[in-house]
Amino acid sequence: MKLSRGPKSPKTTADAFMQARRDILDTIQRIPKGKVASYSQVAFAAGWPGRQRLVARVLGDVPAGYETLPWWRVINAQGKVAIPKGSPGHLQQIRLLKAEGVVFLNGKVSFASHGWQPGDASPLLD
């Protein structure tokens, strides 16, 4: 007996990547000001569980039309900024999060205080 594996997959790998990218970008758009989400939580909420590396890849190459994407609200599962420490991007992400009222304690954000809850049982941590 063949088991159903959910919705039909896109026909090609390129189609799947484009759909995943749209889903991930749309999910990141929903993270409210002052909240953060882990890469794995974004992947889960976007419908691509276990694809946290894909979330990082998508964030590394945001397409035109997403200039207002709140990329800075996505952090790693330890509550830290994933961009290399001391780099301009690292400092910018911290500055943007602090401007939204996100508090860092010892270089980490508390998911208990600032974690996004999209309304489902998605995991906050990897």
125 or 40: which carries more pLDDT confidence?
A: 40
Phi, psi for 74 (deg, rounded to 5): -105, 120
Domains with residue ranges and CATH for the chain: 14-114 (1.10.10.10)
Q: Are 59 and 74 in contact (CB under 8 A)?
A: yes
Q: Are 111 and 35 in contact (CB under 8 A)?
A: no
- 40-98, pLDDT tens digit by residue? 999 999 999 999 999 999 999 988 888 899 999 999 999 999 999 999 999 999 999 99
pLDDT above 80 for 114: yes
Please tell me the distance from the alpha carbon of residue 58 to that of residue 76, in angstroms, as a whole number.
15
Report the candidate in 91, 97, 92 with the shortest Cα–Cα distance to residue 32. 97
